[in-house]
Homo-oligomer: A and B are copies of this chain.
Amino acid sequence: MPPVSPPIPFGDRLAAAVEALGAPLAVGLDPHLPLLPAAIRARFEGLDGAARRAAAAAAVKAWSIDVIDALVGQCAAVKLQAAFYEQLGWAGAQALEASCAHARAKGLLVILDAKRGDIDTTAEAYAAAALDPEGPHGADAVTVSPWMGMDTLEPFLRRCVAHGAGVFALVRTSNPGSGLLQTPGGAALRLAQALHTRGEVDWAGARLSSIGAVVGATIPVDELGPLRAALPRAWFLMPGVGAQGGSLGAARAAARPDGLGVLPVASRSVLFPPAGAPDPGAAWAEAVAERAAAHKRAAAAAWGWG
């Protein structure tokens, strides 16, 4: 038998996708029901309970597929927010699976934003659910919560090595209460150092590590430097560009000297019209594509990759 090549590590696959796009950009799929286009909402409004969940899940599935189609060529990855599908029960889980499969088929990297974290065989089950190629989602990467410790990430990391998958651990988020446990010079930095040390075991030869960090785009700029110094080869997944007030300039400042290592995520600012803007009506998917293209151009400009 010919030797089997090891899979290309996720960190390098993401670098290649960003370089091919000419801009660092992921788009988050957050099917927040009240914000969906009117024609989509009409499919479940007025229903209740399980009937509403089933109708909403079918509508969200159709919306997700159309959004993904609109995003091809406009971003390197899509980040699917598990919670919005999960609230629709098993039919929502089915919609999420179909959306992941469709994005993969369209050549987009799939980041499952699930923030899972548990011990032992339970973590193993979550990792299988998110990352196994033959599993329900087959995602390229998943977000994980590191609160229980580095050992709880191991089932995910085994799949990074085996399948070229990636993880993004929650390191420093930008919500008001994050500082209680994610102390800037304390726990967040200690975690960053532990993630770097662990990553070097498996990805010393890669350009970028397959262990990334979720870092809020609106955290104070003076915190970004120490985090980048602690994680010189990590991708920072930075949600909140646009709607949450994070700027591309701040995100760019957290990148490595080669411009890699930061993946800004725009979600609602791509998915939905800004407040007060005219409703695009039936042309909502075209409007998604236009907003994504504008974000791509802005990211390329902020990166000086024009």
Instruction: Check if B118 sits within 8 Å of A83, measured CB to CB.
Output: yes
Q: Which size class do A's interface residues fall under?
A: 35 or more
Contact of A145 among B121, B135, B147 (CB under 8 A): B147
In the complex, identify which listed stretch (A6-14, A172-180, A224-232, A249-257) lies at the interface while the others stay far away.
A172-180
Instruction: Check if B122 sits within 8 Å of A83, measured CB to CB.
Output: yes
Give chain A's interface residues, CB within 8 Å of chain B: 30, 32, 48-50, 53, 81, 83-84, 86-94, 97, 115-123, 125-126, 128-129, 134-137, 145-152, 170, 173, 175-183, 187, 190-191, 194
Listed by A's residue number, 24 A-B pairs whose Cβ atoms lie within 8 Å are A81-B122, A83-B122, A83-B129, A86-B93, A86-B129, A86-B136, A87-B126, A87-B128, A87-B129, A89-B136, A90-B136, A115-B117, A115-B118, A115-B145, A146-B147, A146-B180, A147-B170, A147-B181, A151-B175, A151-B176, A151-B177, A152-B177, A181-B181, A187-B187
Alpha-carbon distance between A146 and B182 when the two chains are bound, in angstroms = 10
Chain B residues closer than 8 Å to A151, beta-carbon distance = 175-177
User: Which B residue's beta carbon lies closest to that of A126?
Assistant: B83
Chain B residues closer than 8 Å to A119, beta-carbon distance = 173, 175
Alpha-carbon distance between A137 and B137 when the two chains are bound, in angstroms = 21
Chain B residues closer than 8 Å to A183, beta-carbon distance = 187
User: Which B residue's beta carbon lies closest to that of A244?
Assistant: B120
A169 CB, nearest partner CB in chain B, Å: 10
Alpha-carbon distance between A136 and B81 when the two chains are bound, in angstroms = 18
Contact of A48 among B91, B126, B134 (CB under 8 A): B134
Instruction: Tell whether A125 pairs with B83 under 8 Å between CB atoms, given A88-B136, A145-B117.
Output: yes
A213 CB, nearest partner CB in chain B, Å: 13
Chain B residues closer than 8 Å to A147, beta-carbon distance = 117, 145-147, 170, 181-182
Alpha-carbon distance between A120 and B240 when the two chains are bound, in angstroms = 12
Instruction: Check if B30 sits within 8 Å of A84, measured CB to CB.
Output: no
User: Which B residue's beta carbon lies closest to that of A154?
Assistant: B177
Chain B residues closer than 8 Å to A122, beta-carbon distance = 30, 81, 83-84
Chain B residues closer than 8 Å to A149, beta-carbon distance = 173, 175-182
